[in-house]
């Protein structure tokens, strides 16, 4: 959920799509799920961006929030709440959280000094600051070793959070929960930071320097640090602080998973658990850290003009094409490189030539009536004419794969590996096309030989089942095209749950649902209009975008 002052970029859309896919997957499994996304609107970066655009901070945030809400809606994100950190209930939650920290003795007043990055909205210890030369301009400045953003030396009075008192508890938690962070290797970064760089956290800024934020209760001369404010949004969305004793879970806390970019790892995996531990609140169950999207192997940057505008991309390629490409090629462990040519190649191979072609082969040919094939297959046990032993054995290998499709995809999703999950589903379409090419049922069904006709029926039913199960599972990944695929197969709306992703459990489909106004002859994945005029986002320079993540909670 945290999107700071910036226009939407590809990384924001990727985080949204990842979280939405997990939410839709849980819904497909028959579980209640809650997805929260929105905008983090306070802080120095927002204050400066509003000033640079000659706007009041709230007006600037209103405009920015609408852009992100538009992105979420265009990307078909099934969010339950679009939360803004300027929402009144969130401000009340932050104030209450602050007072609880103070009551427990975790807040103290001090003179703080250190290296501060406006872009990252945080102080860095001396050990994490380097002299850095900007490779494109040659400018030399002091920078954070981690992000390479410029830092300045700040001395000021503010409030601090006794985070060092929680060092042992943090390390103990990491030790007992080695799988808490996915991918697991990022846990090493977190443990190293806590062991070697942990300091008490400055959690306020003088109002003279930062006025755009939530004032510290009982001290209007100080503004609450943006990362304390922003992180608490997860609790706000789940009803904090109005939880009946022992019933926080009814509002969805603790979350099953936070989805976030690697650039905000430290805030979510060190600051956030420390703040929760201080109040003896449960921690989220999983942190899914995804890598970044690059362009030509270089980090996207507005100053370089190489930022992919997700709104342009959706308008150009279509929302499910973008969802497919980002999920299929996206990086959880490693950065992924965005390339329009690659997108076109993948689309033609896996969607248009794979899944779309397969759907046409089964549902649009005059050689057979799919409904008759499904109905005949339901009566095999009563038929005196059975498929040949050879075809049964050959088709049996494919049938075994399709029977394992849903369990395998479920294991991938349980392991927070949507890339492997969607690739496995898409590969199934290739296997079904392979089955059809190897057996050529269009030739078998033309003969007068009843065994050959039974062979064709066996092949076509097996192929249709592979496609039906794939379509059911794809609803979590391609929420626009997957239902259309199932409509073309004639799968009833009440037979599209995970429980129906079982080979041979549904013999009622086969008659296409044609919705009013929908074209009869267009393909599921029509040819792309490869307009090469628009690729990058340009425009006025504004403050650099911050982290972005989503929250997902589920309930069995």
Q: What is the CATH number of the domain that holds 108?
A: 3.40.50.620
Q: State the residue for tokens 């039906």.
A: 468
Question: Which residues neighbour 406 within 8 Å (Cβ) at sequence distance 6 or greater?
Answer: 469, 472, 473, 498, 501, 502
pLDDT tens per residue, range 378-427:
887 766 688 999 999 999 999 999 999 999 999 999 999 999 999 999 99
Task: Determine how β-strand 257-261 pairs with β-strand 298-299.
Answer: unpaired
Residues 115 and 239 in one domain: yes
Residues 41 and 144 in one domain: yes
- 216 within 8 A of 206, measured Cβ to Cβ: no
- The residues with which 298 forms a beta bridge, in sequence order, are 295
pLDDT at 20 over 90: yes
| pLDDT band per the 50, 70, 90 thresholds, residue 244 | confident
Distances (CA, A) of 454 to 114, 358, 386, 463: 79, 21, 6, 14
Whole-structure pTM value: 0.88
Residue 198 lies in a domain: yes
Residues 71 and 220 in one domain: yes
Q: Which residues of 419-439 are buried (b: 16+ CB within 10 A; e: fewer)?
A: bebbbbbbebbebbbebbeeb
Residues 99 and 196 in one domain: yes
338 vs 291: CA distance, rounded Å: 13
- 2 within 8 A of 230, measured Cβ to Cβ: yes
What does pLDDT average to over the chain?
A: 89
Residue 247 lies in a domain: yes
DSSP assignment string, 414-444: HTT-HHHHHHHHHHHHHHHHHHHHHH-HHHH
Residues 352 and 304 in one domain: no
308 vs 443: CA distance, rounded Å: 48
Share of the chain above pLDDT 90, in %: 74
Position 298 scores a pLDDT of 83
Picking from 500, 523, 547, the residue at the C-terminal end of a domain is: 500
Question: Which residues neighbour 199 within 8 Å (Cβ) at sequence distance 6 or greater?
Answer: 123, 125, 163, 164
How confident is the model over 85-109, as a mean pLDDT?
A: 97
Residue 329 lies in a domain: no
The sheet with strand 298-299 has its strands ordered as: 298-299, 293-295, 336-338
191 vs 202: CA distance, rounded Å: 20
Picking from 500, 522, 546, the residue at the C-terminal end of a domain is: 500
pLDDT at 556 over 50: no
pLDDT at 533 over 70: no
Please give the residue range of the domain that contains residue 393. 348-500
Position 552 scores a pLDDT of 41
Residues 390 and 279 in one domain: no
Position 302 scores a pLDDT of 66
pLDDT at 551 over 60: no
Residues 278 and 365 in one domain: no
Question: Which residues neighbour 282 within 8 Å (Cβ) at sequence distance 6 or greater?
Answer: 248, 253, 254, 276
Residue 387 lies in a domain: yes
Residue 340 lies in a domain: no
Residues 485 and 427 in one domain: yes
**CATH number of the structural domain spanning residue 410:** 1.10.730.10
Residues 544 and 495 in one domain: no
pLDDT tens per residue, range 151-169:
888 878 899 999 999 999 9
Residues 298 and 361 in one domain: no
Query: What total number of domains does the chain contain?
Result: 2
Q: Which residues of 452-489 are buried (b: 16+ CB within 10 A; e: fewer)?
A: bbbbbbbbbbbbbbbbbbbbbbbbbbbbebbbbbbbbb
Residues 266 and 376 in one domain: no
Residues 111 and 191 in one domain: yes
Angle of helix 57-74 versus helix 44-52 axis, rounded to 10: 100
Question: Which residues neighbour 44 within 8 Å (Cβ) at sequence distance 6 or greater?
Answer: 118, 121, 205, 209, 210, 212, 226
């Amino acid at each position: 959920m945290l999107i700071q002052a910036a226009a939407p970029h590809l990384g924001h859309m990727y985080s949204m799509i990842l979280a939405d896919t997990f939410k839709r997957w849980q819904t497909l499994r028959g579980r209640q799920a809650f997805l929260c996304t929105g905008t983090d609107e306070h802080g120095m970066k927002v204050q400066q961006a509003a000033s640079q655009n000659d706007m009041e901070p709230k007006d600037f945030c209103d405009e920015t929030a609408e852009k992100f809400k538009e992105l979420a809606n265009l990307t078909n994100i099934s969010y339950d709440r679009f939360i803004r950190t300027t929402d009144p209930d969130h401000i009340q939650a932050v104030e209450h959280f602050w007072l609880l920290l103070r009551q427990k003795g975790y807040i103290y007043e001090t003179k703080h000094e250190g290296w501060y990055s406006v872009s990252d909205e945080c102080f860095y210890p001396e050990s994490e600051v380097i002299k850095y030369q900007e490779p494109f301009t040659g400018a030399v400045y002091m920078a954070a070793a981690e992000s390479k953003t410029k830092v300045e030396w700040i001395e000021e009075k503010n409030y601090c959070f006794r985070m060092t008192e929680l060092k042992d508890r943090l390390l103990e938690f990491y030790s007992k929960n080695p799988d808490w962070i996915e991918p697991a290797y990022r846990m090493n970064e977190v443990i190293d930071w806590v062991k070697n760089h942990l300091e008490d956290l400055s959690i306020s800024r003088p109002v003279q320097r930062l006025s755009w934020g939530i004032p510290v209760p009982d001290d209007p001369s100080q503004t609450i640090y943006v990362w304390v404010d922003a992180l608490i949004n997860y609790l706000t969305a789940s009803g904090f602080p109005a939880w009946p004793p022992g019933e926080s879970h009814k509002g969805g806390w603790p979350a099953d998973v936070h989805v976030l970019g690697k650039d905000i790892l430290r805030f979510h995996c060190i600051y956030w658990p420390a703040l929760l531990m201080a109040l003896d609140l449960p921690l989220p169950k999983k942190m899914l850290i995804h890598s970044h999207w690059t362009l030509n192997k270089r980090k996207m940057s507005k100053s370089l003009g190489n930022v992919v505008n997700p709104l342009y991309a959706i308008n150009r390629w279509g929302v499910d094409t973008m969802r497919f490409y980002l999920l299929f090629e996206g990086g959880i462990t490693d950065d992924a490189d965005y390339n329009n040519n690659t997108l076109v190649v993948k689309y033609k191979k896996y969607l248009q030539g794979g899944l779309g072609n397969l759907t046409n082969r089964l549902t649009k040919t005059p050689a057979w009536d799919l409904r008759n094939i499904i109905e005949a297959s339901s009566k095999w046990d009563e038929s005196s004419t059975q498929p040949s032993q050879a075809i049964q054995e050959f088709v049996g290998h494919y049938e075994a794969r399709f029977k394992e499709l849903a369990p395998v995809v479920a294991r991938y999703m349980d392991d927070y590996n949507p890339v492997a999950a969607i690739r496995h589903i898409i590969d199934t379409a290739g296997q079904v096309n392979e089955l059809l090419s190897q057996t050529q049922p269009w030739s078998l069904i033309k003969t007068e030989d009843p065994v050959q006709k039974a062979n064709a029926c066996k092949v076509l039913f097996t192929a249709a089942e592979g496609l039906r199960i794939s379509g059911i599972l794809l609803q979590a990944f391609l929420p626009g095209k997957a239902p259309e695929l199932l409509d073309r197969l004639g799968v009833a709306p009440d037979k599209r749950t995970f429980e129906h992703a079982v080979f041979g459990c549904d013999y009622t489909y086969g008659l296409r649902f044609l919705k009013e106004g929908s074209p009869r002859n267009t393909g599921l994945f029509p040819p792309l209009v490869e307009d090469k005029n628009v690729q990058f986002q340009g425009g006025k320079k504004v403050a650099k975008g911050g982290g972005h993540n989503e929250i997902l909670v589920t309930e069995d």
